[in-house]
Amino acid sequence: MIAGDLEYVMTSLPHLFLKDTDRERSRVISIFQRYAGSEEKKENIITLFEEEMDKFLSAKESETLQQIRLQTVHQPIFQKSKIDVLRRFSIYCSRLKKDLYQLRTARKSGKEIATTLESIKDLEPGTPLEEEIQLIQWQWDKLEELMIGHYSDFEAVILFKLKLCVLLRWWSFDEQKGFERFLNLTEPGHGR
């Protein structure tokens, strides 16, 4: 495991790139497996990250870090956070989520899409997977913007975790399974 202080730990973590290649996946996963002390151990890398950070954070910081999930970061509790980067990313994700809902509702009903949907005005129409990858890119870009000035503080830890979550979300996409799910959802009689 790692010894030292938070600054040392943050600089020893893998630099994350928004890439979906076997080589990139292998590089990031192998580093976290080394943190776990075994190449055989197949733990969730988010859990490994949280456990490693727990050694250097206060109990309150550790609890906050463990509560952060990409699926829930848009919730009001995070929008009201005293932690600036968390609050700003939460507000960004909330706005994105609301605008996407309006866009998808308008598309489904065949209505004109509102031009006031600022957060998604540049969304290029495409397959659901292509659009989801665009959203991931935007979230990544927002996190990169928020990283400025944060290298080894608690906010850097939060941003690293969020970037790792975004990356893992992208890596979890399976085009074949997604297409099968799409076909099942669009089958006549589905949802009755």
130-148 confidence digits (pLDDT tens): 999 999 999 999 999 999 9
Contact present, 62 and 54 (Cβ < 8 Å): yes
CA distance 87 to 189: 42
Q: What is the mean pLDDT of residues 181-190?
A: 68
CA distance 35 to 143: 24
Residue 114: band (very low, low, confident or very high) from pLDDT cuts 50, 70, 90: low
pLDDT of 182 reads 65
pLDDT of 41 reads 52
Closest CA to 52 of 171, 164, 167, 169: 164
Q: Which residue has the higher pLDDT, 147 or 189?
A: 147
Q: What is the mean pLDDT of residues 1-25?
A: 81
Sign (positive or negative) of CA dihedral 56, 58, 59, 61: negative
Q: What is the pTM of this model?
A: 0.84
Q: Is 11 exposed, middle or buried (0-12, 13-18, 19+ CB in 10 A)?
A: exposed
Give the alpha-carbon dihedral of 72, 76, 80, 86, to 10 degrees.
20
pLDDT at residue 1 greater than cutoff 50: no
Question: How many other CB atoms sit within 10 Å of the CB of residue 58?
Answer: 10
pLDDT of 2 reads 41
Residue 192: band (very low, low, confident or very high) from pLDDT cuts 50, 70, 90: very low
